[in-house]
Amino acid sequence: MKYTQLGRTGLKVSRLVLGTMNFGPQTDEPTSHAILDAALGAGLNFVDTANVYGWGENKGRTEEIIGTWFAQGGGRRDKTVLATKVYGNMAGDGDPWPNHDRLSAQNIRRAVEASLKRLQTDYIDLYQFHHIDRRTPFEEIWQAVDVLVQQGKILYAGSSNFPGFKIAQANETAARRGSLGLVSEQCLYNLAERRAEMEVIPAAQEYGLGVIPWSPLHGGLLGGVIKKAGEGRRSASGRSAEALTDPAVRAQIQSYEDLLDKHGLDAGEAALAWLLSRPGITGPIVGPRTVEQLHSALRALEVELSAEVLAGLDEVFPGPGPSPEAFAW
């Protein structure tokens, strides 16, 4: 397993992040535990979740599944860098009590305690703000975070889905307080969605944040969806199927798959390997539903993309260009 440091921290994390969004809604508890065991056995030590995962009436279920895995012992918790998130309303659906969501000091305190209980642990390595909160000043957010750090309930704070200017605002506020501030940003970033290169990733690099891309296969669109459908292995569904109804998108994905076929590369593994090659990237989040999907993702760590392949990918999926030069008049 390949490791890197999480941003400007001393924390060593695996170059792939195990996402657990499917645990509960699509993957049952025994299979989820098998995936976690296989990941840990392969040296993958970075596990990402959120308090709302499980969704609907089952919000919190994903954290509970991870908690029952930790409870089996065997050093599982000590070997795991655990990340979870706060923001979404955890009150029952149709019963949206005020102060049960967002980033008020009250909700942060409540949410941490609830997550610790579900996760069956006494600390969270990386506590992430799932979205920006326009109603709560960062002074209040950092005051709450500083207390939790002093109590030993969290070690570091990170953001998710923050624009570049909010990363700057958050860390400038933290600096005035003498706080560490954000150490990571979890953002949408993949070959087909490169807008993070405009401001989010440059801001993260400027402030020493690790970048953790989510949806590395863009909802399956970059996983060889056309080829798999042609071979009868699996047809496109959901966002992938909808996107492929656009002739321009379908032509682009076909060009992508043709390029990788020419070089004997698996589409999904290549999409992950491309992210791993990008500057400032800590590691992409993979969300396997089965142990076999996990093994496929792990193979991406051994994939080396040639200069020819990288140039071809840039031709199929051109990025916005270097920042800030690409945005000058």
Q: Which stretch of DSSP H or E encloses residue 274?
A: helix 267-277
- In which order are the strands placed within the sheet that holds 154-160? 210-214, 182-188, 154-160, 124-129, 81-86, 46-48, 17-19, 285-286
Please tell me the distance from the alpha carbon of residue 48 to that of residue 285, in angstroms, as a whole number.
8
pLDDT at 329: 61
Please tell me the distance from the alpha carbon of residue 231 to that of residue 228, in angstroms, as a whole number.
5
Structure tokens at 117: 């209980």
Q: How many structural domains does the chain have?
A: 1
Torsion of CA 153, 158, 159, 164, to 10 degrees: 150
Please pick, among 53, 87, 189, 256, the residue that the annotation labels catalytic. 53
pLDDT in tens, the chain (329 residues): 999 999 999 999 999 999 999 999 999 999 999 999 999 999 999 999 999 999 999 999 999 999 999 999 999 999 999 999 999 999 876 666 788 899 999 999 999 999 999 999 999 999 999 999 999 999 999 999 999 999 999 999 999 999 999 999 999 999 999 999 999 999 999 999 999 999 999 999 999 999 999 999 999 999 999 998 877 666 566 677 788 999 999 999 999 999 999 999 999 999 999 999 999 999 999 999 999 999 999 999 999 999 999 999 999 999 999 888 888 76
- 315: in domain: no
Structure tokens at 235: 């047809």
- 63: in domain: yes
pLDDT at 242: 87
pLDDT at 326: 84
- 235: in domain: no
Does pTM surpass 0.85?
yes
pLDDT at 235: 56
CATH code of the domain in which 273 resides? 3.20.20.100
Cis amide linkage into residue 324, ω under 30° from 0: yes
Report CA-CA distances (Å) from 31 to 37, 96, 307, 309. Answer: 10, 32, 38, 36
Residues 36/18, Cβ–Cβ less than 8 Å? yes
- Across 61-167, the runs of DSSP E, i.e. the strands, are 81-86, 124-129, 154-160
Domain range for 291: 3-218+267-304
- 25: in domain: yes
- 232: in domain: no
- 68: in domain: yes
pLDDT at 97: 78
Q: Is 87 a catalytic residue?
A: no
- 229: in domain: no
